[in-house]
Amino acid sequence: MEHVTSTPAPPSPSASSAAPSSTSSGTPLADAGIALGALDGRYRAVVAPLVEHLSEAALNRERVRVEVEWLGHLTSSQAVPGARALTDDELARLRAVVDSFGADDVAELAEIERETVHDVKAVEYYLKRRMAGTSLADLTELVHFCCTSEDINNLSYALMVRGAVQQVWLPAATALTDEVAAMATQLRDVPMLARTHGQPATPTTLGKELAVLAHRLRRQLSRIERAEYLGKINGATGTYGAHLAAVPDTDWVEVSRGFVEHLGLTWNPLTTQIESHDWQAELYADLARFNRVLHNLCTDVWTYISVGYFVQVRGQGTVGSSTMPHKVNPIRFENAEANLEISSALLDVLAQTLVTSRLQRDLTDSSTQRNIGTAFGHSLLALDNARRGLAGLDAAPEAMARDLDANWEVLGEAVQSAMRAAGIAGAPGMDEPYERLKELTRGRRVDGAAMRAFIGGLGLPDDVRARLEAMTPSTYTGLASALVDHL
């Protein structure tokens, strides 16, 4: 099945009269150019860089690029006997068609497509128009030579997605991750009460907990940086049937491999009519996983703000609440959470849908891939919000110190562990250390004096007793500070 346009039919007069505009002015909002979605409306400025890579116009520009490069490759490789090579000037003129592709070209392609009712065929005719009446006129029938639409589309999408990842998404994601890592280094020594299952637990440092998140994000970035972008150009069912029928003596497998690699992509030697899209599913799974780690960061930071460990001190000109003037709401992190959830859901759908195509071809991938930009857009918007949120934070060590001082019972772990070690080393009276600390600490608050009195009465070796008596919740952070160096 060929790739066909999805241009909607115009509404009938009866349908129009049955659905009047809801605007009081009588002018339909659609006619005023109002965006349907938030990405092209409220958040347009943030996601605009993706338009250059993942929009419908970008798809058509990349289709033109692939057609131009295929024409150049056919002639330079002498794959078709009798076809002369392009001159340097002719190849430059063809590539200029791609480089200058703009709004007028988009409109012209739309006009052609209304006649062809086929988007890739419209690109073929558009390029042939550019060649007509020039020195290139004798080569017009090499445009789209032996190609099915998916030969052009799969390569175009690979170029588009690669550009969006490498030029837009990765720089933004890397910048955010580096900022989290810098915060971790700056706050490495700030002690903080940990909470496991929401309950007071072994103290840590704020920097170490941020380092955990930065490390997780970097692992996903490393996977995304190593992503492969596959492509194929092998005809209607991946057999080079038309190629051999037209020119049986050319090594079309090598011509195909050379062309895909010329585009900077990884050649896929075995496909149906479509490139199988497995690389896309792999990439989108990694992107969704990055999103979810970032979501975890946002929820943790939101919680730290709610308990006072972070204060929002910058951007005070903003309105936190329409009725409560004291509030500065953590809206950047909440916005990021929502957009990460939307992005991840879309990426999941893309990954699940694109790996299946009935027999040698169905068209589900065509509609699905048109949502790639939306999935990336919500992730990019979340990155922007998370970065802006982090930039407006200051740590509040005094709040963390108050929490630590109110939870001396967390030292119970340290004391019972030291008792175990002392008992193993031969110290008498170290029996049932866990049970004795549980009796002291469970379900009750223990202050410093009570903890030190308990330690003093255990009969510990002097060096162990002195070490434990000197310990406070703020100093019981183990190697937390040093672990930040693993970043």
Tell me whether residue 321 is one of the annotated catalytic residues.
Answer: yes
Q: Give the pLDDT score at 31.
A: 82
Q: Among the options 197, 322, 326, 486, which is catalytic?
A: 197
CA angle 480, 420, 436 (to 5 degrees): 100
Has residue 209 got a pLDDT over 90?
A: yes
Has residue 6 got a pLDDT over 80?
A: no
**Neighbouring residues of 473: CB distance < 8 A, sequence distance ≥ 6:** 191, 193, 203, 404, 405, 407, 408, 410, 411
Work out the pLDDT band at 201, boundaries 50, 70, 90: very high
Mean pLDDT to the nearest integer, 243-247: 98
Residue whose structure tokens are 């939307």:
342
Has residue 322 got a pLDDT over 60?
A: no
CB atoms inside a 10 Å sphere around CB 194 = 17
Q: Give the pLDDT score at 315.
A: 54
Residue whose structure tokens are 């802006």:
388
Tell me whether residue 73 is one of the annotated catalytic residues.
Answer: no
Mean pLDDT to the nearest integer, 184-201: 97
**156 vs 133: CA distance, rounded Å:** 27
Q: Among the options 21, 321, 367, 417, which is catalytic?
A: 321
**Taking the C-alpha atoms of 375, 379, 385 and 386 in order, what is their torsion angle to the nearest 10 degrees?**
160
List the domains of the chain with CATH numbers.
Answer: 150-233+269-397 (1.20.200.10), 407-481 (1.10.40.30)
Q: Where are the beta strands (DSSP E) in 160-295?
A: 191-196, 199-205, 230-231, 266-267
pLDDT above 70 as % of the chain: 92
Has residue 317 got a pLDDT over 80?
A: no
